[in-house]
Amino acid sequence: MMSFDWSAPKGFVTAGGKALEYQCFGPAPDKAPTIVLLHEGLGCVALWRDFPAALAKTTGWGVFVYSRAGYGQSDPADLPRPLDYMVEEAQQVLPDLLDAIGFQRGVLMGHSDGATIAVEYAGGVEDFRVRGLILMAPHFFTEAMGLTEISAAKQAYDNGDLRDKLSKYHKHVDSAFRGWNDSWLHPDFNAALVTDAIDYLRIPTLAIQGRGDQYGTLAQVHEIEERSYAPVDVEILEDCRHAPQFDQPDRVLAAVAEFCTRLERIEKAKVEAA
């Protein structure tokens, strides 16, 4: 298989049998650790805006961002999605992706659905290349206030202008929206969210949550604090809703940089002690 060309800043990579759009920033995996960004339920490469570039500049690490199947310019997803689509993404797609880009060591940084996928990977796939997790606005169970927001999104998509807005970013907009919305509003969805994966975490985690998050309460962060066997650092941000990277970008970048620096110190200490 042809090796991945990190010098090509954007393009498509095949993983899980789908062509997935990507962008990469900063040093290649053989030069520095890599942060792999996992987007939210309606996100994609473009909707990260300038955050990946700022992340690479602040940390000095490489940053790889991609759109999952059904999102952005990637191939469409197969609908209906299974209710455990986040487990499927973690176990059937993400291993292919990390191998395809030549991932050597680094962290998974997920937002919302992406954070849940990161936990499913770290807790369910043995991969010693992943040294830590950064979770923004993770969710491990449904909450009434979050489901109310998701129901409102359905009304805005069916009867308002949300479809037109999303179609600017998603080539297969119905695949993107229905795959997320129909799953979350299914009565059996809560049972498909993360349970056992948290209990198998053995790497450090940084959890970032906005106090005003409209999709989930601080109980989501407390869940991983209480159940993870590895250290969990928590950043609760004031004046912040569901997107900490946009509501409080400086705080997020500072917290991530500190976390990555600490991981590097741990790595160096292990090498020197060996």
pLDDT digit string, tens, across residues 175-199? 999 999 999 999 999 998 877 899 9
**Residue 184 in domain:** yes
pLDDT band at 2 (very low <50, low <70, confident <90, very high): very low
Q: Encoding tokens for residue 76? A: 């469409």
**Residue 196 in domain:** yes
Whole-number Å distance between alpha carbons of 94 and 96: 5
**Residue 125 in domain:** yes
C-alpha dihedral sign at 154, 156, 158, 162: negative
Q: Encoding tokens for residue 234? A: 């928590």
In sequence order, the β-bridge partners of residue 205 are 133, 232
Residue length of the chain:
274
> Domains in the chain: how many in total?
1
In sequence order, the β-bridge partners of residue 22 are 11, 66
**Residue 4 in domain:** no
Q: What percent of the chain has pLDDT over 70?
A: 98
| Residue showing tokens 């409102």 | 152
Q: In this predicted structure, what is the pLDDT of residue 8?
A: 87
Longest dimension (CA), the chain: 62
Whole-number Å distance between alpha carbons of 188 and 65: 30
**Residue 209 in domain:** yes
Whole-number Å distance between alpha carbons of 153 and 95: 31
Q: Give the domain range for residue 122.
A: 10-268
Provide Rg for the chain, Cα atoms. 18
pLDDT band at 62 (very low <50, low <70, confident <90, very high): very high
The enclosing domain of 67 has a CATH number of: 3.40.50.1820
pLDDT at 205 over 90: yes
Which of these, 21, 33, 24, lies nearest to 5 by C-alpha position? 24
Residues 6+ apart with CB under 8 A from 252: 136, 208, 235, 237, 244, 245
**Residue 1 in domain:** no
Q: In this predicted structure, what is the pLDDT of residue 273?
A: 65
Cα–Cα distances in Å, from 244 out to 13, 26, 37, 213, 221? Answer: 28, 22, 14, 9, 14
Contact present, 26 and 61 (Cβ < 8 Å)? yes
Q: In this predicted structure, what is the pLDDT of residue 271?
A: 66
- Give the mean pLDDT of 27-47: 97
Q: In this predicted structure, what is the pLDDT of residue 269?
A: 78
Helix (H) or strand (E) holding 163: helix 162-166
**Residue 117 in domain:** yes
Q: In this predicted structure, what is the pLDDT of residue 176?
A: 97
Q: In this predicted structure, what is the pLDDT of residue 3?
A: 75
**Residue 98 in domain:** yes
Q: Output phi, psi for 116, to 5 deg.
A: -65, -40
- Give the mean pLDDT of 10-38: 97
Q: Residue 134: helix, strand or coil by DSSP? A: strand
Q: What percent of the chain has pLDDT over 90?
A: 92
Q: Output phi, psi for 107, to 5 deg.
A: -130, 155
